[in-house]
Structures are given as C-alpha cells and as structure tokens.
Amino acid sequence: MCGIGEGRRIRAFRVTMPRMAGRVLGVNYERKVDSMDSLAGTQSFYEDADDSRRKRMRLIVALVLIALALGAAYYAFTSSKGAADAEGAAGSAAVPNVTVVIPGRVSVEAAIAANGTIAARREMPVGVAGEGGEVVRVLVEPGQWVGAGQTLAVIDRSVQTQQAASLAASIRVAQADAELAQAELERAQALVGRGFISKADMDRKRATRDAANARVRVAQAQYAEATARNDRLNIVAPAAGLVLTRQVELGQIVGAGSGVLFRMARGGEMEMLAQMAEADLARVKVGTRATVTPVGTDVQIAGQVWQVSPVVNMDTRQGMVRIAVPYSSVLRPGGFADARLVSGTAEAPLLPESAVQSGAEGNFVLIVGKDDKIERKPVKVGAVSDAGVSIASGITGNERVVTLAGAFLNVGDKVKPVLQKSSQ
C-alpha cells in the first residue's frame, strides 16, 4: 500500500513540480531556450560558412579544370603546328637550293692544252776525238756556259809531246840538208861556164836540192800531224752553249770507245716536246704561239712552234709538236711541262672554275635537267683564264650548270635551281 501511495506521491510530485517551480525555472528555461537558439544560429553560421567554402572550392576546381583544358588545347595546337613546321622544314631540307648558270656561248681564244718533256733544242754530245789517254784535268761542270773551242777536259800528252819534239828536230835537219844542197847547186852553176861541171852533174845537184826541200816539207807535215793529234787529245766544246751533263772523272782513261763525256745545249736553246692528239695536231702550224709552264713552278715562258711532226703514232694516235723556248733556269731537260697553244678564236661556253670537276674518267659538270634532277655531263676543257674555263665540247651552253656545291650532289638528286647571271 505504501508502495502504491508513494508511487502516486512521486507522480504527483513530478506533475506538480513544474507548477511549483514554474517561476523558479522560468528564467532558466528561457535562458536555455535562448542558448539553444544561439547555438542553432551558430550552427547555421558555420553551415553557411561551409557552404561558402564548398562553393569557393568548386569554383577553384572549375577554374583549374578550365585552365588545364585550355593548356591542353594550346599544347595540342602548338604541337600540331610544330609538327607541321617540322614537316615543312624536312620537306625544304630534302630539296636543297643550288646556284646554276646558263653560260651561253662567248668568243674565247681557241687554245689547245698539251703536255710533254723539256729537252735541248740542239743537243751536242761531246766525246774523245783523238787517241785518248788519261784525264788529268776537268775544267767545267754542268750548268756552265762555254765558248766554241773551249777546253772541257785535258788529256795527258807527255809521250805525244816528245814525239812532236822529235819531229820538230827532223824539220831542222831536213832544212839544213836543203840549205846545203842549195849551196852546192849554186857553186856548181858558177863552174858550169868554165867547163868544170857537166850538165849531168848539174841535174844531179838540182835533184839533190829538190829532194832536200821535199824532206823539209815531209818533216813539217809530220810535225803538223803530231801537233794536230796532240791538240785533239783535249776535249773541247764544238760550239758555244750550256753544259748539261759531265760523265768523266780525273784519272779516267778515255779513248775513241769511251762514249759521250759531256752533253751540251747549243746556244742554251731549249724546246718542249709536246704530244698532241691527231685532231689537235691539224689545228697547229709552224709559228703558232705557245706558253710553256714547267711542272712545279708558276713561271710562264713564251715560245712558238717550230716543227710539227709529219707522222702520227699508229698506237697512240698522237703526234709531236716541238715548241722552241728561250733559256730559263727553271727549264731542265728531261723535266715535265704543260703547254697552252693559241690557235685563234672560237665560240664556246665559259664557266667558272668551281663548276668544272674532275674524276677518274676526266672532267665533268653537273647540270639540272628535267624535273629539276641532277645530271652529269663529261666535258673537254679548253682555255683557262681569269674569266673562267672555256668548254671545248660536252655542253652547248644552254644547260643549267651547277656552279657551287657540286661535290655534295649526286646524279638523280632533286634540287631547287637558283639562276645566277653569267659573268659574260
């Protein structure tokens, strides 16, 4: 019972409590309500702030995405443009520009190029003309100029000198006998009128006198012969000129079979023995002007053709042209030289030297043919001057000839020709 009654009192207390404490708790309740409202406002504020941050984040993300999209689009655009430029550059590099010239035909000196060897125009071999003997002196060396009759080498003549002295004495003996015979003849002639000398004796005395005079002449001739032989012992120059070679030494025994001891160029005159093709040979005549350049030098020596070979070698189909040139210290017999012969004027293409190239098969030029492709044309070079190189054959002059960078091009390469005006 108590439990039930207590329970009712408790429920009554729970029910009546608010009424009793209504005023006491009213303030607290209002404060609590205000606090809750404030808390709700704060929560609403933070929720609004979170929404604002989320919006800003979304905006930032959107801007970043837009920037990335724009960057990707720009990259794609520039990449495609760069690829296009690269392709264009590659296409441009594949077709290089080359400088070409259309030479036409101009009036040039018709020159013929030839080569050959230098030689003495009139070579004089000098040997032993007399009996020979031991060489006791050599008086000249190669490269020296000598006069006609000048002694080149002296041969020992001690024995020959004694023989000549003996013959000279024989002359004096013969002269004495002749004088005696003449005196006896004169005395006999004085006695003829007195009858002491017969006519026959007079004839004998005249014969004795004549024989004595003859013996004098014989002795004189023998002496002259010996003197001449002695003079021929020495080796002398047959004419004035230049000593080219010496093949004798001091103490050497020489004779008629010793061969050539000295070689000379008469007057120092030289010539070039030029080998020329049969076709060129027909364009050359005696008197044609020429310029000779010894190999290894840049000295140009003027000369002229003095002999054209009347025959052509059947094996080489070439003939010899002999070009006379004056003496020069750079001309050495046996040496090699180039010659340029001027045989008039002709119309021919004229190219710069850079356009003409050389190969195993000879000279050639590169031309730009059909479809702007490189072609190779073998040519024959004519005169070479400061103005350029004339082309004797191989092109007509209407072709587009590559003037530069020809060494870097191959037959069949496609190029872009850039025309350059001809220098003429």
CATH code assigned at 294: 2.40.30.170
Residues 335 and 369 in one domain: no
Say if CB 326 and CB 293 are below 8 A apart.
no
Whether the predicted pLDDT of 418 surpasses 50: yes
Residues 43 and 85 in one domain: yes
Whether the predicted pLDDT of 234 surpasses 90: no
Residue 66, domain member (yes or no): yes
Instruction: Give the mean pLDDT of 120-148.
Output: 91
Instruction: Give the mean pLDDT of 232-261.
Output: 90
Whether the predicted pLDDT of 39 surpasses 60: no
d(CA 138, CA 154): 6
Q: What is the pLDDT of residue 124?
A: 93
Residues 88 and 199 in one domain: no
Say if CB 349 and CB 391 are below 8 A apart.
yes
Tokens of 65: 């995405």
Q: What is the pLDDT of residues 303-357, one digit of tens each?
A: 999 999 999 988 888 999 999 999 988 999 999 999 988 877 778 888 988 889 9
Residue 259, domain member (yes or no): no
Q: How confident is the model at residue 116 (pLDDT cuts 50, 70, 90)?
A: very high
Domain containing 327 equals 112-120+265-343
Residues 197 and 237 in one domain: yes
d(CA 103, CA 353): 13
Into how many domains does the chain fold? 4
Percent of the chain's residues with pLDDT above 70: 81
Tokens of 313: 């070698």
Residues 356 and 338 in one domain: no
Residues 73 and 187 in one domain: no
Q: What is the pLDDT of residue 18?
A: 41
Residue 387, domain member (yes or no): yes
Residues 245 and 313 in one domain: no
Find all residues with CB under 8 Å of 365, minimum gap 6, and list them. 351, 355, 356, 357, 376, 377, 379, 391, 394, 395, 401, 402, 406
Whether the predicted pLDDT of 416 surpasses 60: yes
Say if CB 327 and CB 269 are below 8 A apart.
yes
Q: How confident is the model at residue 300 (pLDDT cuts 50, 70, 90)?
A: very high
Query: Model-level pTM?
Result: 0.52
Instruction: Give the mean pLDDT of 233-237.
Output: 89
Pick the residue with more confidence: 280 or 16? Answer: 280
Q: What is the pLDDT of residue 420?
A: 82
Rounded to 10 deg, the angle between the 199-233 and 158-192 helix axes is: 160
Say if CB 114 and CB 305 are below 8 A apart.
no
For the chain, what percentages of helix, strand and coil (3-state, to nearest 5) are there?
A: 40, 30, 25
Whether the predicted pLDDT of 84 surpasses 70: no
Query: 65 burial class (0-12, 13-18, 19+ CB within 10 angstroms)?
Result: exposed
Q: What is the pLDDT of residue 23?
A: 42
Q: Are strands 416-420 and 97-101 parallel, antiparallel or unpaired?
A: parallel
Say if CB 240 and CB 214 are below 8 A apart.
no
Whether the predicted pLDDT of 133 surpasses 50: yes
Rg from Cα positions in the chain? 63
Whether the predicted pLDDT of 130 surpasses 50: yes
Residue 282, domain member (yes or no): yes
User: Last residue of a domain, which of 322, 343, 364?
Assistant: 343
Q: What is the pLDDT of residue 77?
A: 62
Cα first-last separation, the chain:
149
Residues 372 and 337 in one domain: no
Residue type present at position 173:
V
Whether the predicted pLDDT of 358 surpasses 90: no
Residues 129 and 207 in one domain: yes
User: Last residue of a domain, which of 205, 226, 254?
Assistant: 254
* Cβ atoms < 10 Å from Cβ of 196: 10
Residues 152 and 231 in one domain: yes
d(CA 203, CA 381): 93
Q: What is the pLDDT of residue 140?
A: 94
Residues 292 and 375 in one domain: no
Please name every residue paired with 111 in a beta bridge, in sequence order, or none if there are none. Answer: 342
CATH code of the domain in which 411 resides: 2.40.420.20
Map residue 403 onto helix, strand or coil.
coil
User: Last residue of a domain, which of 301, 316, 343?
Assistant: 343
Residue 217, domain member (yes or no): yes
Pick the residue with more confidence: 237 or 201? Answer: 237
Residues 166 and 154 in one domain: yes
